[in-house]
Amino acid sequence: HAYISSLLNDIPEKPEIITFTISLRYNLPRRDADNMLPVVKLFVDCLKNNNWILEDSPKYFKSFEIIFDEKLNKNSQIITINY
């Protein structure tokens, strides 16, 4: 949590996020997509704890996707917030 929170706090302006989706692309060859679910959970919890989102209920958090992306550098991941 601390690392993600520090990254969020380094962003100078928080966007106004009401409803959102999350996209996680990764290239961690030894991980299956279902092993990446905790990453999404941790990230969304950090968004909430740092007041980036109002709530993570279905009213606001509409969907997420987890994609294995061979085009990314090995052992990397990118999380995108779509709002």
**Number of C-beta neighbours around residue 20 at 10 A:** 20
Percentage above 90 pLDDT, the chain: 84
pLDDT over threshold 90, residue 21: yes
Q: Rounded to an integer, what distance in angstroms lies between the CA atom of residue 60 and that of residue 65?
A: 16
pTM to 2 decimal places = 0.88
What mean pLDDT comes out for the span 6-17? 91
Question: Residue for token digits 């060859």?
Answer: 29
Averaged over 68-81, what is the pLDDT? 96
Structure tokens at 5: 């929170």
Report d(CA 18, CA 54) in Å as an integer. Answer: 7
Share of the chain above pLDDT 70, in %: 100
Q: What's the confidence (pLDDT) of residue 1?
A: 78
